[in-house]
Amino acid sequence: MITEIFSALAALFFVLGLLGVFAWGIRRSGLLPGHARGKSGEKQVEILESKMVDGRNRLVVVSWRGKQFLLGTNPAGIKVISSSDGKNNNEFKKLIGDNENN
């Protein structure tokens, strides 16, 4: 009776250990949506700051290729409000899909 309980607990701990190793491997390899892969190298896009304006709108400061961009996001899409060099970079607009002022 006691040996059956110990063998059941050992099997339980073994399965939980396998699940833990599997979850660690998935997270480490970057297969989760929204997580960057574990590659070495420089980040191209970095979110510097993000503030909610209201329940649906957000202001985001993004760094890309050494320049900073202020973006407005809402359910309808993303709009470049300003950039660090004073110009709205057309290449960056194409990257985020902002076709409004092109």
The token pair at 36 is 């960057």
Same domain, 57 and 19: no
**Residue 102 binned pLDDT confidence (cut-offs 50, 70, 90):** very low
Of the candidates 101, 63, 53, 64, the residue with the CA atom closest to the CA atom of residue 79:
101
d(CA 50, CA 21): 34
Q: What is the pLDDT of residue 44?
A: 77
Which helix (H) or strand (E) segment holds residue 29: the answer is helix 2-29
Cα separation, 76 vs 97, whole angstroms: 11
Q: How many domains does the chain have?
A: 2
The answer on 71 and 30 residing in a single domain is no
Q: 92 and 54: one domain? A: yes
- Does 24 score more than 60 pLDDT? yes
Q: Assess whether pLDDT exceeds 70 at residue 68.
A: yes
Domain with 21, as residue range(s), is 1-39
Q: What percent of the chain has pLDDT over 70?
A: 71
Judged by average pLDDT, the poorest of 13-17, 41-45, 80-84 is 41-45
